[in-house]
Amino acid sequence: MKIAVVQFEPKIGNTSFNLQKMISQITKIDADLIIFPELATSGYFIPTKDEIISLSLNIESAEIQELINLSNQSKKGIVFGFPEKSEKGNFNSSMLILPNGSHFIYRKTHLFFKERFLFTEGDTGFFNVYWKQFDINIGMMICYDWRFPESARTLALKGADLIVCPSNLVTDVWHISMPSRALENKVYFAVANRIGIETINDESCKFLGESAIWSYNGSILTKASKSIEEVLISEIEPQKTRDKSFNPFNDIFKDRKPEFYF
């Protein structure tokens, strides 16, 4: 199975431009699953709740339906971050679309910085989606969720083979953490980060690229630059994540002692 991470720079506040850019990438990229950054349709540093609501999409919106149709026509799975409008609130969400038309929304659990003034706290929790064609379990988390090892651990304990993490990362310390999450859980890990700078008044967010895909042993498969739009592609073998033993006596899940962990 081939997975692709798209490192790109959305135009802030311009959903139709960003969507067209995503569509053009999905059409061009030769991969089975294509992963875009957090808030790919809207951009990140939106100043007010009213503005983020005006950029938010719901499941019935023409934009999302277009991506669902494209997934079906191209036979490619798609993951992308977007501001989601729903009856339950206004979420920083990530959607996984499979070519058979099924689609799944993860709502960001840990809100970063001023996101708390714009978004409702995620209510989906962490879950995996099984894609039969490739015999793969895919779990989603979003950006700042990385600071909590419980995010990846929960997905892995629920059976993830691959964790995808649409991101808008503004530091580079996460490069210490992501390969550790891959290694300690024996899962593939794909981070789609963005590049560029967004400014509100005198405050700026600089997004630091370096999107990457790690193998289940923590080794890096591919990594992007800090400031150029790029597509990373890796071949993965999901079934290889499932035997959690690393010698005849040790198994990283069976050896856990949860009774001592709190």
Return the number of other C-beta atoms located less than 10 Å from residue 257's C-beta.
Answer: 6
- Choose, from 108, 186, 205, 210, the residue flagged as catalytic: 108
User: In which residue are the tokens 């953490």 written?
Assistant: 177
The DSSP letter of residue 74 is: H
- Choose, from 9, 21, 38, 76, the residue flagged as catalytic: 38
Distance from C-alpha of 231 to C-alpha of 174, rounded to nearest angstrom: 20
Cβ 143 to ligand ACM, closest distance in Å? 3
At a CB cut-off of 8 Å and minimum separation 6, what does 67 contact? 19, 22, 23, 26, 78, 80, 95, 97
Closer to ligand ACM by CB, 136 or 143: give it.
143
Closer to ligand ACM by CB, 9 or 161: give it.
9
Radius of gyration of the chain (CA): 18
Tokens of 60: 């019935």
Residue 143 appears among annotated catalytic residues: yes
- Choose, from 9, 84, 115, 143, the residue flagged as catalytic: 143
How far is Cα of residue 180 from the mean position of the Cα atoms in its chain? 17
Rounded to whole angstroms, what are the CA distances from 226 to 8, 144, 163, 190, 193?
Answer: 11, 18, 22, 16, 10
Residue 38 appears among annotated catalytic residues: yes
Which residues of the shown chain bind ligand ACM in the complex (CB under 6 A)?
A: 38, 112, 143-144, 168-170
Residue 84 appears among annotated catalytic residues: no
Closer to ligand ACM by CB, 99 or 196: give it.
196
Bin 189: left if φ > 0, else alpha if -120 < ψ < 50, else beta: beta
Cβ 44 to ligand ACM, closest distance in Å? 7
Cβ 114 to ligand ACM, closest distance in Å? 10
Distance from C-alpha of 183 to C-alpha of 252, rounded to nearest angstrom: 10
Closer to ligand ACM by CB, 136 or 169: give it.
169
Closer to ligand ACM by CB, 8 or 144: give it.
144
Q: Which amino acid, 230? A: E
Q: With beta carbons less than 8 A apart as the criterion, state whether 96 and 104 touch.
A: yes
Cβ 165 to ligand ACM, closest distance in Å? 10
Rounded to whole angstroms, what are the CA distances from 149 to 47, 162, 181, 182?
Answer: 29, 15, 7, 11
Cβ 169 to ligand ACM, closest distance in Å? 5
Question: Annotated active-site positions, please?
Answer: 38, 108, 143
